[in-house]
DNA sequence: TCCCAAAATTCTTATTTTTGAATTTTTTGA
DNA sequence: TCAAAAAATTCAAAAATAAGAATTTTGGGA
């Protein structure tokens, strides 16, 4: 069950991030299509908590700098090593495509670092974007780091949803993909979740964290380049001292 | 009316900021004294929004780096000039007491920048801390920048709450304080809101923003030093080119 | 491999919250 | 200065949620 007002807090935060300047109650209500009275209650709660304030008298509300100080504290405690950021940056520069670091998150994989391509047509992802674990190369690069037992636990909860014609729709198909990736030496995807989107991914174990690195871009530019992109990723990983592993799909 | 689940999102965020590492559902539920099922729903909502993730498989949840990227965007759009931060730092260093920049926020004043004293006994405030507009020197330094008409609008909504023996309990008393501050050349407070806390404040108009700067510390150390602290504040403001104003309490 | 304890997840209704409409306050323009 | 419009705030019925208890799943130890 979704907690509506928790989602509303997030929507309000993103509303302000997109807007970039204060908004009155009426502007918030109109912008998010919320009833005035609901907006009034939510804003009042966040004001009383110290997370919204009125920068100018009757000039509307804006998130207080407290968000920033809390977020910095959180980020300091959950550090992604600079070497990993640099790896993504290097690979992003060399391939010219959007490059991201993925981490498992429930049924999905979440990007915890993103280096966007500058091409006019590119894969637009941001930190926090999630994609299905089983229907993406970044996801399968994480699945391949799990034991068969762990994967089976995951499959038990998985409900297959058809995002496109190429979305894998069975456990057998996913396991096949993992075996093929092992032979090939890298994970790949072709419009399984987002139409026209092609990806190449490698597992990126980091201590006990299971991460993956993925390069993704439009079909037109990337489909044929997949082997070359994989070569670029693997070369950069070796240069920077990351282990190259594609554990057997049947490993226990 | 308070929106419970909005407050819960904030509490969860601060729970993680204080904890510094991932927590399982059970740990969150115990730590915040929430029912398991409610915790389950709230965490699920934040996960689906991309604001919580599982850094390690079954290793508990942690806020995703998305908080950080959104908070940075927000902070970039609501900049407090570096000159103001430097002013607070200078004054904090020179007085040895906690120094803050206040901004109006509904019925209160919120600290949007804080430079904490390093003394073992000191005023502990953080970004986002609020204090009553009428019962603090930082607040009256903001009130003094408002026209009588605006102040009257504020007084109409004000409900007088007795925080201590010296809390001002009438409009006349507040207006008296403003007049005295005008003669004195600075605003001051003595345990009006927090017992044992003494403050000295100056208005800090910044374009159309009405800010104030306040130095606050324990009674034992600060009561007699108030004139000296005021001198330090004013000298620093003049050096750094900030206007010294104590608008008449009766200005329209 | 099985069993047990702990954690996660589901389910249902009593309770709380949401929100449309009404009211009050503030701002704008004449 | 006044009137009209816009914004903020209140309120109570309607609707959605919270959370206790039950169930299922997981991980660790024998």
Residue B248 has a pLDDT of 53
The residue-averaged pLDDT of A221-232 equals: 96
- B227 vs B246, higher pLDDT: B227
Distance in angstroms (rounded) separating the CA atoms of residues B97 and B121: 10
The residue-averaged pLDDT of B106-127 equals: 90
Residue A252 has a pLDDT of 34
Residue A247 has a pLDDT of 60
Query: Would residue A106 be called left, alpha or beta, if left means φ above 0 and alpha means ψ between -120 and 50 degrees?
Result: left
- B188 vs A159, higher pLDDT: B188
Residue A110 has a pLDDT of 92
Q: Does the pLDDT value for residue A139 go beyond 70?
A: yes
Q: Does the pLDDT value for residue A216 go beyond 90?
A: yes
Q: How confident is the model at residue A151 (pLDDT cuts 50, 70, 90)?
A: confident
Inter-chain residue contact B66 with A126, CB threshold 8 Å? yes
Chain D bases closer than 7 angstroms to a protein Cβ = 6-11, 16-22, 25-27
Q: Which residues of B touch A80 (CB under 8 A)?
A: 65
The residue-averaged pLDDT of A204-209 equals: 86
Q: Does the pLDDT value for residue A1 go beyond 50?
A: yes
Q: What is the DSSP string of A160-186?
A: ----STT---SHHHHHHHHHHHHHHTS
Q: How confident is the model at residue B245 (pLDDT cuts 50, 70, 90)?
A: confident
Nearest to A14, CA basis, from A132, A128, A131, A130? A128
Q: Which of A11, A70, A204, A205 to mutate to test the interface with B (most CBs of B within 10 A)?
A: A70
**Chain A contact for B14, CB < 8 A?**
yes
> Is the Cβ–Cβ distance between B71 and A71 less than 8 Å?
yes
Query: What three-state secondary structure class fits B201?
Result: strand
Q: Does the pLDDT value for residue B250 go beyond 50?
A: no
Residue A184 has a pLDDT of 95
The residue-averaged pLDDT of A96-107 equals: 90
Share of chain A above pLDDT 70, in %: 97
Digit-coded pLDDT (tens) for A4-37 = 889 999 999 999 999 989 999 989 998 898 888 8
The residue-averaged pLDDT of A152-157 equals: 84
Residue A211 has a pLDDT of 92
Digit-coded pLDDT (tens) for A233-252 = 999 999 999 998 766 544 43
CB contact burial A106-123 (16+ within 10 A = b; e otherwise): bbbbbbbbbbebeeeebb
Sequence-ordered list of residues with C-beta below 8 angstroms from that of A229, at least 6 positions apart, any chain: A95, A97, A200, A215, A222
Q: Could you tell me the distance in Å between the CA of residue B132 and the C1' of nucleotide D24? A: 51
Partner A, chain B 124-153, Cβ-Cβ below 8 Å: 126-130, 146, 150
Q: How confident is the model at residue A64 (pLDDT cuts 50, 70, 90)?
A: very high
Distance in angstroms (rounded) separating the CA atoms of residues A103 and B56: 8
Residue B247 has a pLDDT of 60
**Chain A contact for B159, CB < 8 A?**
no
Q: Does the pLDDT value for residue B249 go beyond 60?
A: no
User: Which one of A46, A65, A128 has the shortest CB-CB distance to B64?
Assistant: A128
The residue-averaged pLDDT of B203-230 equals: 93
Strands B108-115 and B209-218: unpaired
Inter-chain residue contact A71 with B68, CB threshold 8 Å? yes
Q: How confident is the model at residue B58 (pLDDT cuts 50, 70, 90)?
A: confident
Q: Does the pLDDT value for residue A96 go beyond 60?
A: yes
Residue B252 has a pLDDT of 34
Q: Does the pLDDT value for residue A106 go beyond 80?
A: no
Q: Is A159 exposed, middle or buried (0-12, 13-18, 19+ CB in 10 A)?
A: exposed
The residue-averaged pLDDT of A68-76 equals: 94
Stated as kind and residue range, the H or E segment containing A109 is strand A108-115
Nucleotide lying nearest to A156, CA to C1' measure: D25
Tokens, residue A42: 């939510």
Q: How confident is the model at residue B2 (pLDDT cuts 50, 70, 90)?
A: confident
Distance in angstroms (rounded) separating the CA atoms of residues A191 and A42: 40
What is chain A's mean pLDDT, rounded? 90
- B218 vs B210, higher pLDDT: B218
Nearest CA in chain A to B71: A68
Residue B161 has a pLDDT of 86
The strand ranges marked E within chain B are 52-53, 62-63, 98-105, 108-115, 130-132, 187-190, 197-206, 209-218
Q: Does the pLDDT value for residue B48 go beyond 90?
A: no
Q: How confident is the model at residue A148 (pLDDT cuts 50, 70, 90)?
A: confident
């Amino acid at each position: 069950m979704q907690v509506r007002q928790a989602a509303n807090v997030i929507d309000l935060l993103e509303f302000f991030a997109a807007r970039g300047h204060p908004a009155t109650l009426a502007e918030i209500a109109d912008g998010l299509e919320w009833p005035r009275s609901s907006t009034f209650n939510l804003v009042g709660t966040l004001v009383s908590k110290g997370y919204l304030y009125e920068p100018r008298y009757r000039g509307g509300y804006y998130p207080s700098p407290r968000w920033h100080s809390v977020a910095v504290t959180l980020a300091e405690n959950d550090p992604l090593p600079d070497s990993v950021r640099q790896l993504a940056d290097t690979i992003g520069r060399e391939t010219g495509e959007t490059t991201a670091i993925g981490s498992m998150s429930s049924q999905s994989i979440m990007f915890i670092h993103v280096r966007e391509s500058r091409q006019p047509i590119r894969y637009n992802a941001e930190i926090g974007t999630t994609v299905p674990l089983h229907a993406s190369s970044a996801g399968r690069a994480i699945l391949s780091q799990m034991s068969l037992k762990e994967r089976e636990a995951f499959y038990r909860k998985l409900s297959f949803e058809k995002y496109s014609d190429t979305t894998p729709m069975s456990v057998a198909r996913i396991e096949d993909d993992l075996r093929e990736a092992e032979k090939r030496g890298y994970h790949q995807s072709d419009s399984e979740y987002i139409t026209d989107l092609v990806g190449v991914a490698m597992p990126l174990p980091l201590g006990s964290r299971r991460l993956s690195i993925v390069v993704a871009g439009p079909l037109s530019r990337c489909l044929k380049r997949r082997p070359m992109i994989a070569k670029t990723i693997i070369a950069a990983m070796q240069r920077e001292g990351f282990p190259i592993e594609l554990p057997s799909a049947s490993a226990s």
